[in-house]
């Protein structure tokens, strides 16, 4: 059992996030320099519609061709339901640890630690998967430059900038986000103003089938692309990760999660429809490594594609910065929760006294991402990261079901509508997505979880008075709630 006071119920729906943080036993250390709009800008940049379209969508198209639209539509529907689950739980537990903190407080410490490992895996792979895109697009402008080393260098540069004041980063990210939206609009207009394909390209979809050939898309290919499509619209959970630096009511955190997810999905699906309709040569489009910018070139010419390419580079830089900021908070929180041996935990939880940000955790995310960029390929990183994301979605959906039953006395500043429909839809969706993933990715994830379970039961649990101790279990939450009601 924890030796700290867990969250108290019945603060009211407009309870301040900082009060809940203190109730959970944490001393505020990070700077509350964001308002809800700043949080939303960071979260939308984390979703990064432009970078997702120009980097991740390439992997979706490689899997399902023009059937990718159906993967995006289904994935978007699942994502909204996942966001509703996250919004409710995130408003209850507005902590920098985000999803792993939620899972731990609802499902218990062992499963919560596995959720942390999943999140840490994302912290390594997700920034790298986005950074690969900047290497791809700079290489398109300057073919002599190495894609991998460009991406690796950018990860280190991004980490250095992420060590600055969070308010400064939020303003810079908001500026780049405005440019990013302009690129998204240009992508959409390139297709809608110069259509070459009919709607049958979606109702009778095709995909690449060998060298210079295309073939029909089966349902299994669309389902296989579902996890990567979910990855493409992922990032709305970062509203929770930035909650310790956001002023205002805890309910605003839940609203930010759902609003960011909805905006991000719309800004990805509409341009995707446009560029698919604008493909002059469907065969070339499906075999291209840069299919979306190819459509811009055929519609508006080389100058426009240079503008979009530089816009893409700025958008990918912006996304890498936002994602690094997010996962630096996750890594920081894991150290604060003493998830690792004491010297490592103390280093990760160290906060720069001037900027009030976790600089060791930030640099670790950047360096590991840089190393991965120098060693891997885009497709392999994207597909594996997608599996990690979908598994964590499943744990959040289960938590949304269990919390309403086992923690029914706890206050929910943001309450999802139509419970239990959203978590059930999310579970069905992630089950479908996982059913078609590569066996090697699933085996690697299983091995990570087995190793994590061994670490938890041999190191953390015997030392639970000192390690992994700032997290309560469901029974403790309930007993506290019962005492408060007497």
* CA distance readout (Å), 101 to 109, 160, 214, 237, 462: 9, 27, 46, 12, 20
The answer on pLDDT for 5 being more than 60 is no
For residue 482, what pLDDT band results from cuts at 50, 70 and 90?
A: very low
Q: Find tokens 């309930």 and name the residue.
A: 478
What are the counts of helices (DSSP H) followed by strands (DSSP E) for the chain? Answer: 22, 2
Considering the domain boundaries, does residue 483 fall inside one? no
Tens-place pLDDT, residues 314-338: 888 888 899 999 999 999 999 999 9
Which one is predicted more confidently, 427 or 125? 427
Q: What CATH number is attached to the domain comprising 122? A: 1.20.1740.10
How many domains does the structure of the chain reveal?
1
For residue 302, what pLDDT band results from cuts at 50, 70 and 90?
A: confident
Considering the domain boundaries, does residue 234 fall inside one? yes
Q: Find tokens 């009919």 and name the residue.
A: 198
Query: SS3 for 262-287, per residue?
Result: HHHHHHHHHHHHHHHHCCCCHHHHHH
Between strands 206-208 and 214-216, the pairing is: antiparallel
For residue 477, what pLDDT band results from cuts at 50, 70 and 90?
A: very low
206 beta partners: 216
Residue 206 parent element (H or E): strand 206-208
What's the whole-number mean pLDDT along residues 128-143?
Answer: 78
Report DSSP state, residue 460. I
For residue 10, what pLDDT band results from cuts at 50, 70 and 90?
A: low
Least confident of 149-153, 188-192, 314-318, 469-473: 469-473
Q: What angle do CA 419, 330, 56 make, to 5 degrees?
A: 75
CB 232 within 8 A of CB 55: no
Report pTM.
0.90
Considering the domain boundaries, does residue 351 fall inside one? yes
Structure tokens at 238: 């970062």
Distance CA 85, CA 330 (A): 19
Distance CA 382, CA 159 (A): 20
Considering the domain boundaries, does residue 454 fall inside one? yes
Distance CA 203, CA 84 (A): 30
Least confident of 12-26, 118-132, 373-387, 414-428: 373-387
Considering the domain boundaries, does residue 464 fall inside one? yes
What's the whole-number mean pLDDT along residues 459-467?
Answer: 90
Question: Quick check: helix, strand or coil at residue 216?
Answer: strand
The answer on pLDDT for 339 being more than 90 is yes
Considering the domain boundaries, does residue 193 fall inside one? yes
In order, the DSSP letters of 458-470 are: IIIGGGTTTSS-S
Report DSSP state, residue 53. I
The answer on pLDDT for 263 being more than 70 is yes
Distance CA 129, CA 6 (A): 37
Question: Quick check: helix, strand or coil at residue 288?
Answer: coil
Which one is predicted more confidently, 2 or 171? 171
Q: Helices 36-47 and 250-277 meet at what angle, rounded to 10?
A: 40
Tens-place pLDDT, residues 201-220: 999 999 988 778 888 999 99
Of 331, 335, 343, 334, the closest CA to residue 368 belongs to 331
Distance CA 153, CA 367 (A): 9
Q: Find tokens 């008075």 and name the residue.
A: 465
The answer on pLDDT for 292 being more than 80 is yes
CB 292 within 8 A of CB 53: yes
CB 446 within 8 A of CB 377: no
The answer on pLDDT for 478 being more than 50 is no
Distance CA 17, CA 7 (A): 11
Considering the domain boundaries, does residue 481 fall inside one? no
Task: Tell me the residue range of the domain where 272 lies.
Answer: 34-474
**Cβ atoms within 10 A of the Cβ of 32, count?**
17
Least confident of 117-126, 396-405, 408-417, 464-473: 464-473
Query: SS3 for 31-43, per residue?
Result: CCCECHHHHHHHH
Query: Residue 77 contacts by C-beta under 8 Å, 6 or more apart in sequence?
Result: 425, 429
Give the model's pLDDT for residue 476: 46
Distance CA 56, CA 382 (A): 7
Q: Does residue 142 have a cis bond before it (omega within 30 degrees)?
A: no
Tens-place pLDDT, residues 36-78: 999 999 999 999 898 888 878 888 998 999 999 999 999 999 9
Considering the domain boundaries, does residue 16 fall inside one? no
Distance CA 236, CA 198 (A): 33
Tens-place pLDDT, residues 346-360: 999 999 888 888 999
Distance CA 210, CA 189 (A): 30
Give the model's pLDDT for residue 264: 95
Of 429, 418, 30, the closest CA to residue 223 belongs to 429
CB 275 within 8 A of CB 292: yes
């Amino acid at each position: 059992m924890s030796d700290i006071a867990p969250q108290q119920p019945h603060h009211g729906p407009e309870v301040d996030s900082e009060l809940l943080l203190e109730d959970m036993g944490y001393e505020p250390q990070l700077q509350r320099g964001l308002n809800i709009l700043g949080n939303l800008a960071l979260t939308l940049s984390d979703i990064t519609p432009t970078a997702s379209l120009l980097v991740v969508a390439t992997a979706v198209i490689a899997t399902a061709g023009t059937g990718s639209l159906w993967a995006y539509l289904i994935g978007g529907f699942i994502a909204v339901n996942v966001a509703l689950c996250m919004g409710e739980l995130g408003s209850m537990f507005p902590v920098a640890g985000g999803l792993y903190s939620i899972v731990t407080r609802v499902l218990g410490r062992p499963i919560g630690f596995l959720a942390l490992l999943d999140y840490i895996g994302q912290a390594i792979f997700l920034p790298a998967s986005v950074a690969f895109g900047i290497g791809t697009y700079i290489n398109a402008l300057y073919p002599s430059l190495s894609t991998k080393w460009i991406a690796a260098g950018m990860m280190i540069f991004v980490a250095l900038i992420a060590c600055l004041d969070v308010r400064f980063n939020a303003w810079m990210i908001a500026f780049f986000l405005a440019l990013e939206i302009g690129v998204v609009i240009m992508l959409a207009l390139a297709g809608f103003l110069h259509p070459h394909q009919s709607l049958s390209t979606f109702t009778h979809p095709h995909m690449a089938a060998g060298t210079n050939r295309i073939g029909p898309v089966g349902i299994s290919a669309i389902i296989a692309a579902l996890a990567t499509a979910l990855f493409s619209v992922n990032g709305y959970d970062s509203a929770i990760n930035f909650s310790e630096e956001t002023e205002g009511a805890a309910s605003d955190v839940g609203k930010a999660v759902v609003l960011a997810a909805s905006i991000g999905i719309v800004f990805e699906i509409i341009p995707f429809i446009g560029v698919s309709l604008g493909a002059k040569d469907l065969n070339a489009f499906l075999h291209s490594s840069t299919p979306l910018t190819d459509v811009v070139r055929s519609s508006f010419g080389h100058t426009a594609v240079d503008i979009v390419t530089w816009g893409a580079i700025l958008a990918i830089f912006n996304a890498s910065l936002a994602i690094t900021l997010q996962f630096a908070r996750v890594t920081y929180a894991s150290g604060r929760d003493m998830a690792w041996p004491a010297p490592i935990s103390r280093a990760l939880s160290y906060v720069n006294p001037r900027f009030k940000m976790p600089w060791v955790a930030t640099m670790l995310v950047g360096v590991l991402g840089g190393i991965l960029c120098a060693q891997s390929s885009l497709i392999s990183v994207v597909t594996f990261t997608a599996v990690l994301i979908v598994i964590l979605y499943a744990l959040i959906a289960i938590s949304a079901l269990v919390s309403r039953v086992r923690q029914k006395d706890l206050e929910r500043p943001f309450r999802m509508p139509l419970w239990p429909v959203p978590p059930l839809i999310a579970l069905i969706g992630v089950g479908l997505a996982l059913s078609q993933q590569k066996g090697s990715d699933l085996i690697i994830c299983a091995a990570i979880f087995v190793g994590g379970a061994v670490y938890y039961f041999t190191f953390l649990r015997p030392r639970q008075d000192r390690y992994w101790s700032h997290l309560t279990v469901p029974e403790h939450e309930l007993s506290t709630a019962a005492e408060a009601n007497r």
